[in-house]
Amino acid sequence: MTNRIRFAVEAASATAEAVGGARTGIRLSPGATFWGVAETDVPELYSALLAELARLDLAYVRLEATAGEDVLIGLRRAWPGTLIMNPVPPMGPKQTGRAEADHWLGLGAELISFGRGFLANPRPGRAAAHRPADRSRRRGDVLPGR
C-alpha cells in the first residue's frame, strides 16, 4: 500500500509545507475507473491514504461518490478532519440536490460540493428555498479535449 499512496502523500506534504496545511486540501475519487484503470482494495487503500494525510493536518478532504456508500462512510470515519462530499458521481446524469446534501450532512460531512448545476445558478437562495437548480448548459461548459 505504501508505494500506491506515496505520490499523493508526497504531493500533499510538499504543498502543505509550502503554503501550510490549513490552506491545503485534496480531492479523492475512491474506486473510480479512469482510462480503463480500475483500483482494487479501495477501502484498505484509501484508509491507508487518509491515515497518512491526517498527519499533515490538511484543511479538508473532498470525496467523490465513486464508490459505494458503505465504503464512503468507512472513509468518513477514517478521516478525522473536515470532509467535503460530492454525493453524486462526477459527470453523471444526476446533479446534487438538497436531499443528497442533507443525507451526507447527516452522515458526517461538514460541507457539500454541488458542482456544475449550481455554477449555472448564481442565486444562492435556490437551495435554501428548496427550489431545483437550472440544468447545466452543456454547450458553454468547459470540458477536457475541447
Higher pLDDT, 139 or 83: 83
DSSP-based three-state secondary structure for 138: helix
From the number of C-beta atoms within 10 Å of its C-beta (0-12, 13-18, 19+), residue 62 rates as middle
When pLDDT is averaged across residues 62-89 and rounded to a whole number, the result is 92
What's the CA gap between 133 and 127, in Å, rounded? 8
**Which one of 3.20.20.10, 3.20.20.70, 2.60.120.10, 3.40.50.300 gives the CATH number of domain 2-136?**
3.20.20.70
Asked whether the predicted pLDDT for residue 1 surpasses 70, the reply is yes
pTM of the predicted model as reported, rounded to 2 decimal places: 0.78
pLDDT of residue 46: 96
Asked whether the predicted pLDDT for residue 85 surpasses 60, the reply is yes
120: Cβ contacts below 8 Å, ≥ 6 apart:
133, 134, 135, 136, 137
| pLDDT tens column, 7-35 | 999 999 999 999 999 999 999 999 888 78
Distance of CA 145 to the CA centre of its chain: 23
